[in-house]
Amino acid sequence: MQVAAWPKQVAVIGRYGLPISTDVAFLRESKREVVFVGDADPVDLLVFALLREYLSIRWLGVSDEFLLAQGNQAWPRIQTPLASSEKETCKRLARFCPDYRSLLGTQCSALLDAGMKIELEGALLNK
């Protein structure tokens, strides 16, 4: 992911959990490009999958490409174990977000398979 892939002007909207209908309406009415910057975990992938059912949206979240662009190769230091609920969610991930492996890349997908994740905060840590 090169810097050119990022919008030149960014406004950030943050929310814990699933978006509600007014969030989707607000994003749609903004008439701006919508990108999703989230963790390489099943919850954020599901939120992204839900949003793209209603919006044109691009994944710019944690992925192999994101980590390379950050110069962050400290994988063992920044990965954390999935919670048991996240492990259960992984079992359904392919159904609701069938392209999650292409969004994450080979290494981040392998981490999920191994019961690990990388959160945005870890991905942005210095090497």
Give the number of other Cβ atoms within 10 Å of residue 12's Cβ: 5
Q: What is the pTM of this model?
A: 0.85
CB neighbour list of residue 18: distance below 8 Å, 6 or more residues apart: 46, 47, 50
Domains of the chain by residue range: 21-125
Rounded percentage of the chain residues whose pLDDT exceeds 90: 50
Average pLDDT (95-120) is 94
Architecture of the structural domain at 21-125: 3-Layer(aba) Sandwich (3.40)
The lowest-confidence range among 9-13, 53-57, 103-107 is 9-13
Looking at residue 12, its pLDDT comes to 67
Average pLDDT (14-26) is 81
Which span out of 19-23, 71-75, 102-106 was modeled with the highest average pLDDT?
Answer: 102-106
The lowest-confidence range among 9-23, 72-86, 91-105, 106-120 is 9-23
Give the number of other Cβ atoms within 10 Å of residue 35's Cβ: 15
Give the number of other Cβ atoms within 10 Å of residue 58's Cβ: 16
Looking at residue 42, its pLDDT comes to 95
Q: Is the pLDDT of residue 2 over 50?
A: no
Q: SS3 sequence, 64-94?
A: HHHHHHHCCCCHHHHEEECCHHHHHHHHHHH
C-alpha closest to that of 57 among 24, 101, 89: 24
Q: Is the pLDDT of residue 30 over 50?
A: yes
Give the number of other Cβ atoms within 10 Å of residue 45's Cβ: 25
CB 83 within 8 A of CB 39: no
Looking at residue 126, its pLDDT comes to 59
Burial bucket for residue 15 (CB in 10 Å: 0-12, 13-18, 19+):
exposed
